[in-house]
Chain A
Amino acid sequence: MNNRLLINYSPGSTPIHKLNGATKVFGFLIITVYIIMTFDVRVMLPMLILCSIGIVSMKPNWKPILLILSFLFVMAGVVGSLMIILIRPTSGYTHTGGETILIQWTNHFFISKELIWYVSAMFFKRICSLSTAILFILAITPSELAAGFNKLGMPYKICTVISLAFRTIPDIARDYIDIKNSLMMRGVELDSRKASLGKRLKQTVFILSPLIMTSFGRIGTIANAMDLRGFSKHKQRTWYSERDPTAADWVARAIILLVAAFCVYYIVYIRIMNPPPFSYWTPWGYWNG
């Protein structure tokens, strides 16, 4: 199970790994705003390139990343696009403002140049948001995540919940494997190729009930241990993975602030004050009317 997890529990050694937790969280939030705010391929492309460079520089384990990418390609790319093309072929017009029909079968089923552009631009946006997420996941460890959120002003109780959740995952995985093995030993068929969907749904009850019981049974113990150590007594707390920002952190934060300034400019000036007539930019110039 562990080799299928993308997130690291121990910090890596590349320059991005060495950044401060707060820097990483701040950067991720700004990049997410950046990707959400725009539908313009020209604006998204530089961020995608930056994120790809970041991901490559961390020398990740490529196997799970490729798996996720291919999954996204099939789900959001192929199936999602086909759905748009079959159900609303006119959405090419509503979102880009032009219609140059390439193939037409009937009045309702046709493919236009703009429809293809719209579908691929939307897929491009998904790819961008996925790559920012992968960058963030590869860069951060759970305790850094909690410390970083706390540094940005989130109440530390919520941050503790997040880091505690990650701390519990290996325990749950271990319990899950134990329960599964003991069920298989008693002759319950858990192989997905041999049991039908209905049967598997029924079997999940067999696995779930002991799993939930053991996990929730631990709550009292953990809560008591935390109370005894004085949890939530003070207004603030320190974090084990909290470090003083280095020079690299200040450089990264300056760059992120610049991006944030651009985001504010883009949202206020382009999205609110001069909204383009159609949400998606196309190279065929419908934006200028």
Chain B
Amino acid sequence: MISDLAVPNLFVAQAGQLVLPVVLPLLAAFLMQPLARVSTALARGLGPLVLILCAWITAQLWIQLGDAPFTLAIGGFAPPLGILFYADGIALLFALAVPVFALLFWPGSESGGGAGADSRPGSDQADRDQAARRDALVLLLVAATTGLALSGDLFNLYVFYELAAVASFGLVALSGTGRAQVATFRYLMISAFGSVLALAGIAILYMQTGTLNLGQLAQLAPETLNNPIGSAAFALMLIGFGVKAELFPVNTWVPEVYAGAPARVSALLAGLVSKLAVLVIVRLLVLIFPQPEAAQMLLVLGVLGVLTGEFAAWRAKDFPRMLAFSSIGQLGIVFVAFSIGGEIGLLAGLAVALHHLIVKSALFGLAVRWNGSLEALAGAARTSPLGAALFVLFALSLVGVPPLPGFWAKLTVIVGLAERGTPLDITALMSILLVTAVEASYLFRVAIRLYQDNPDPVARHARRDLGVSALLGAVLVAATLGLRPVADVLGAGAAQLGDRAGYIETVFPSHVAGKD
């Protein structure tokens, strides 16, 4: 019924379709509850259907229009006054990743959904209501994160960010255990405080420039924001949007939330949502705050995140929390990479971020069944040989063993740091090399344990989770084989992402900006 509206021109991409990947999941999310009353089957099918449709539309846009960035003014109001969506190659790539990963980690199916042991027998009707609520929350998350990738307006970004936050609170608390609820509350507190800071930063930007349009902000930034006040605004917004991106001082929620939430939700949060928050920070950094102080802030916080995350992961005794801490460390490397700036920095950052998106999501997919202590994993290779093999593959790539993409991603970061070569960069470089050894230590410790002899190993994986991880593993191997084309695509994307003048030109084509 919803798809009828979009069917007529689905094969011809038009800029106007850019709103659909945001609007359709929103609409479906709010239709979900009433629909579940009418027909359970329809409600169950609605979510995946909408996600497939969104992925299809975004892929068409990317293939047909993705070479040059383009914009879409919502409601036809011209940019400085109206709100717009801005789509370049990277924005579309992330907008495509959102429905695809949501589909891969769709919590709908019964087998192994949730935290396994937490499922309680309830009445049929209650189960169905619960399922409809959960599907609606995932769709809200999809709409909000797609909006984060596409929006070209600062306040709009804030609203999408809040929407993603609220949806993720609901998803984390879903398992209904006490620890999940305490974790959600603390996550909510940190997240809401981050929003306060981001809001304050936005207010300062508006005081200084009088606009919230990213393109116009980019025009005005060199005169109005290249000063201590601008740096303060960036610091506020960095911490604010950094909450979801697991930035160093505001990431205390990460281990407890990933330990308490259903593993598939953790996969979505660690893989997808964090990357979209990173994309927002990078846009701000490239467009509005090109001054060196901003990059330095990112570098220092990134290094702290790398060190604290990886050492905490080394100490972790259970699988989900080890992945959570390791995710903090990996995102630290992403921040370090983006702080290098220039095309090589953006390329390195994108490479590490996409690599982490694939690998960490897949590892959390394995954690659906391996949700216990590391010791309990002994001998798991016997019951689940493919799962163990995949874990070894992902571990090798995370550490950065040569033929795999993880090696190339880390190498790009290290080369970038070495090329700039300030003392701070060298410190960052040394800490990345150091944590590589730490990563190798804790990941291979687990890998060895998987292949130990144990008469009573953990249960095998559900077929679906294993399938998803295997698919992502296949993507990783394919990227290894086709590293050159992947690098070319990412390089072109990085060039677009870093092209400040191009962004302004795309938003205000005829140089009449600021007047209407």
**A and B: interacting chains:** no
Listed in ascending order, the chain B residues whose CB lies under 8 Å from chain A are: none
Listed in ascending order, the chain A residues whose CB lies under 8 Å from chain B are: none
